[in-house]
Amino acid sequence: MIKKTFKKLKSKERRNLKRDGFSDNLMPLESLDLNKVRTIDDLVKGMKNTAFGGRSVGEAADVLEAMIKDKDCFAVGTFAGAMTVAKMGLLICEMIDRGMLQAIVSTGALMTHGMVEGSGMTHFKYDPRMDDEELFKFGYNRVYDTLELERNLDDLELIVFKVFSKLNLKKTYASYQILDKVGQYLKKIIGAKQAILKSAYEKKVPVYIPAFSDSEFALDIGVFNRRQKLKNKPPLKTSELLDLEHFTDLIRKQKKIGIFTIGGGVPRNWAQQVAPYLDLIDKRVGKGGKFIRYQYGVRICPEPAHWGGLSGCTYSEGVSWGKMVPLEEGGRFAEVLCDATIAWPIILKAVIERLDKRK
């Protein structure tokens, strides 16, 4: 509106034109007053009326809350980065247990380290006095400032092998089917108190790993199959296309869809591509497709757009691909360019306080 008005004015008139902000319905900012802050939600609401990263945190909480409250919205959570090694796994459990997410798309590594945590094993702080060669000798795998014990992964192999051995090896499995069985094992056999796959199993939330072969979990399948071969027994067969079609059919049934993203990478792209895929099916096949796009989106990731990768891609860019509903048509999106271990707990806790207060 302001741009159109300016085009009609001569240069001299433009210089003399002074607006007060309110006349153009601009939102006024407010100073963050910590004396008024009693809860995390108070803090986040105050941050929303500030600027820069603080404002984006406040706006993200509003969008996440709206997505959760919309009874017609099917929410997909996508997770990349070493979030479970970073001890953020219980945040995913919380979102599943509270019904905030109806499907999860993840990297294999994140779920592998989550199973380590859920099985009662421990991650450790990295001591910078130890060099990486020493870490290798002692069986410590470093993820930035955190250590995953090789022993943990060895013990995890024993757990997943028990799950694999009970599968029908005449079938071909999708990742979500195998992970559901692991979740069942964590609940019924190990008795895990809190674990991502246990929560997903209990709430019937499918967990997809689209790049299934890119993880310790898949390496365990590879070792399992080599041992099966030596015993002249059938291998465990998997197919990522089964995941794609299951997720596509699930999305096709929904009225609205929303997405909550930590990081980016394959999980984000795989989850978002379902919209153009359904559109292509509708146009090129004629049956089984649908025109549906994500109406809500919250992204927490430090990567900016100018690197050109999908992790930093804006939701506005996603509109051009037919993945997102434009703002003019009711789309609601928030993007927080921040380390997820900082912003995610604050945003989630604020929304939890709002929902609990509402109850």
The tens-digit pLDDT sequence of the chain (359 residues) is: 555 555 565 565 555 677 888 888 898 999 999 999 999 999 999 999 999 999 999 999 999 999 999 999 999 999 999 999 999 999 999 999 999 999 999 999 999 999 998 888 999 999 999 999 999 999 999 999 999 999 999 999 999 999 999 999 999 999 999 999 999 999 988 877 899 999 999 999 999 999 999 988 889 999 999 999 999 999 999 999 999 999 999 999 999 999 999 999 999 999 999 999 999 999 999 999 999 999 999 999 999 889 888 888 999 999 999 999 999 999 999 999 999 999 999 999 999 999 998 77
Predicted pLDDT at 147:
96
Residues with Cβ within 8 Å of residue 334, at least 6 apart in sequence: 56, 59, 60, 62, 63, 64, 297, 298, 299
Helix (H, G, I), strand (E, B) or coil at 352: helix
CA torsion, ordered 106, 239, 181, 216, to nearest 10 deg = -60
d(CA 7, CA 175): 56
Predicted pLDDT at 216:
85
d(CA 62, CA 48): 9
Helix (H, G, I), strand (E, B) or coil at 197: helix
Predicted pLDDT at 255:
97
Burial 240-259 (b: 16+ CB within 10 A, else e): eebbbebbbebbbebebbbb
Predicted pLDDT at 40:
96
Domains of the chain listed by start with CATH number: 108-193+212-253 (3.40.910.10)
Distance in angstroms between the alpha carbons of the first and the last residue of the chain: 41
Predicted pLDDT at 220:
94
| Strand pairing class (124-125; 146-149) | antiparallel
CA torsion, ordered 242, 199, 216, 150, to nearest 10 deg = -170
Which helix (H) or strand (E) segment holds residue 294: the answer is strand 294-300
Asked if 332 and 63 count as a contact pair (C-beta separation under 8 A), the reply is yes
**Residue appearing with tokens 């609990």:** 356
Helix (H, G, I), strand (E, B) or coil at 261: strand
> Which residues are registered as beta bridge partners of 335?
299
Which helix (H) or strand (E) segment holds residue 295: the answer is strand 294-300
- Range list of H helices, the chain: 2-8, 11-16, 40-48, 52-69, 89-97, 108-118, 132-138, 150-165, 175-185, 196-203, 216-230, 240-252, 265-272, 274-280, 315-320, 340-358
Predicted pLDDT at 10:
59
Predicted pLDDT at 311:
87
Predicted pLDDT at 68:
97
